[in-house]
Amino acid sequence: MSINCLIIDDEPIAQQIIERYLEPFDQIQIVGKCINAIEANSLLQSLQVDLIFLDIEMPHIDGLAFVKSLAKPPKVIVTTAHREYAIDAFEIDVIDYLLKPISQERFLKALNRVLLMDRSKEEANPYIYLKVNSKMVQVYLSEICYIQGLSNYVKVYCDDRTLICYQKLSHLEEVLPQSLFKRSHRSYIVNLKKVRSYTSRELNVGIEELPIGANYREAVLDQLAKHQA
């Protein structure tokens, strides 16, 4: 699967940061960079574009007005220094709203949303990318057993490896599909297909017994019951 993306931003440094963050992803191709919506509109007439990284406050036409003008807009991730446009942006179904300066962790969260959306339609075994040290590591959802949150990083326990990733547990909770992955405790997210047995207070995942927090109990048990049915 290849994703063609277009960067629309009137700040050269902002364009360079997005380029750098995209560099490890071979399947994502930058097909153009524009400093305003007029240039972008010309490129969209001649290129197949699947994803736009879009600034809002730009010369001539602002980013949101530009997207509204398109009959069939590509997926959009907003990249802006302004918080006040967030409601308007989500009303036109943007994938994510990133505030500058954009951290690599936050950028990866947004990108994984796009990747999972496309792969869920095309592939039986979707995957995401996790930042491990300085590398982006491909991890299939089906190999993840559970994830443990440890302050500003997580441990991802897979079938045959354990990864230490510099992402927050809350970020992964938002990205991973809720029908398969459930927050069972303030420190754990569990792949429900890996649960071998359970009680109202703990889950057996492989050889581990993981606690079910009181605030998460009802949602976890309801979802497990659906899997059982």
The tokens for 36 are 């305003």
Phi-psi region of 100 (alpha: psi -120 to 50; beta: other; left: phi over 0): beta
Distance from C-alpha of 114 to C-alpha of 44, rounded to nearest angstrom: 19
Q: Does residue 169 have a pLDDT over 80? A: yes
Q: How confident is the model over 80-103, as pLDDT tens digits? A: 999 999 999 999 999 999 999 999
Delineate the domains of the chain, giving CATH numbers in brackets.
3-104 (3.40.50.2300), 142-228 (2.40.50.1020)
- Predicted structure pTM score: 0.78
Mean pLDDT on 64-92: 95
What is residue 1's predicted lDDT score, i.e. its pLDDT? 65
Alpha helices in 47-187 (DSSP H): 63-69, 86-91, 104-122, 169-175
Q: How confident is the model over 102-149, as pLDDT tens digits? A: 999 899 999 999 988 865 455 567 889 999 988 899 999 999 999 999
